[in-house]
Amino acid sequence: MDSFMEYYFDEVFNNLQRDCLSERYKRRELVQYFSTVIAGCAKGHNLSDNVTCRHFVRATLRYHNSCKTKNGDVCLMGKYHNLLYISMKLAFDWSLQDNGTVASLLDELYACEKTFERIFLGAIFGTSAPHFLAGWKSDFADKEENIHALVFFLDHATNANLEYTDGINTYRFIDVPLESCGKASPVRVVIQMGAAEMLMILLRFGARITIESASTHPIETILDRLNEYNRKYPYELVSCLKLIMRAVPSVIINVDKSAFKHLDLPVDYNYQRKVALQKYGDIIEDHLIPSTRCGLRPAELKHLCRCSIRERLWNNFQLPFGIQKLPIPETLKKYLDLMED
């Protein structure tokens, strides 16, 4: 396999036009061609498909790194970079189980792009939207395959303990900002969309619900949207809110304390409770937010334990599959995995 790939890169690929892989159908043709090669080499050398696919991915990484090194350690982009997406598709198609190889592929993608939006956007928006958002088309067949691919790479990234830095902040694979979405995290984009199915996947894998650089917390974003519907709440938004309530200890609301200076309130006054009642009284009254999750009553010990255990599992890169290793009843495993409340 290695000899074939070296010959292919030297005698065939180097002579192709720089933009030869810009079109999705051309990338798919190359994926199909390499799939045939992988199957043939596996059979001819009496190797498993997994081993042969690993050799292919490693060969493309070596070639990409070699070209980048010759260019002053800067990616040449064009066909040289799109070759990484050929490897990405083949790794998924052949269910490559070599964690180190997949991790190296993800590292190389981030080194060139500083984002993983070509893995996330298709799963969040479907196959058509990325073309309008970022000017490229998803390499996966449909939204369902995009979601399966996302879970595949989330699994590998978690097992490999992958973290990435932009020079200021450090992110897990699941939280790397999406360049085409105003550098918002994937979970923030999903919350804004009200996509409950995708939100469930991201929360199970430990996506962080944080304020980031925006002025409002993601929870406030969805609460403000619910307020617009005059108590005729859309099912998807309600579902998203309920899922978020399982993953965080309580609702976090931004408070401008200077607005309450004229009231001369005590130092330990619960500003969040007052703002919650003022802004989201109808939502609380309609029980969309449990009184134990918004500061009106103490949170349930069971829920706080869930949040604490999930935090510990997240610290050790064990979400969500590490839950199954815990010596606890099956019902509690589902509770920890956000399947029920």
Q: Is 183 exposed, middle or buried (CB count within 10 Å of its CB: 0-12, 13-18, 19+)? A: middle
Q: For position 256, what pLDDT does the model report? A: 57
Total-model pTM = 0.91
Distances (CA, A) of 279 to 121, 265, 290: 33, 19, 16
Largest alpha-carbon pair distance within the chain? 82
Residues 222-251 as b/e (b if ≥16 CB within 10 A, e otherwise) read bbebbeeeeeebeeebbbbbebbbbbbebb
Instruction: Match 């196959």 to its residue by tokens.
Output: 127
**What tens digit of pLDDT does each residue of 82-104 get?**
999 999 999 999 999 999 999 99
Exposed/middle/buried for residue 51 (C-beta within 10 Å: 0-12, 13-18, 19+): middle
CA distance 310 to 336: 7
> What size, in residues, is the chain?
341
pLDDT in tens, the chain (341 residues): 778 888 899 999 999 999 999 999 999 999 999 999 999 999 988 989 999 999 999 999 999 999 999 999 999 999 999 999 999 999 999 999 999 999 999 999 999 999 999 999 999 988 877 766 667 788 999 999 999 999 999 999 999 999 999 989 999 999 999 988 889 999 999 998 899 999 999 999 999 988 765 557 788 889 889 999 988 999 999 999 999 999 999 887 765 555 555 555 555 555 556 666 777 888 888 989 888 888 778 889 999 999 999 999 999 999 999 999 999 999 999 999 999 98
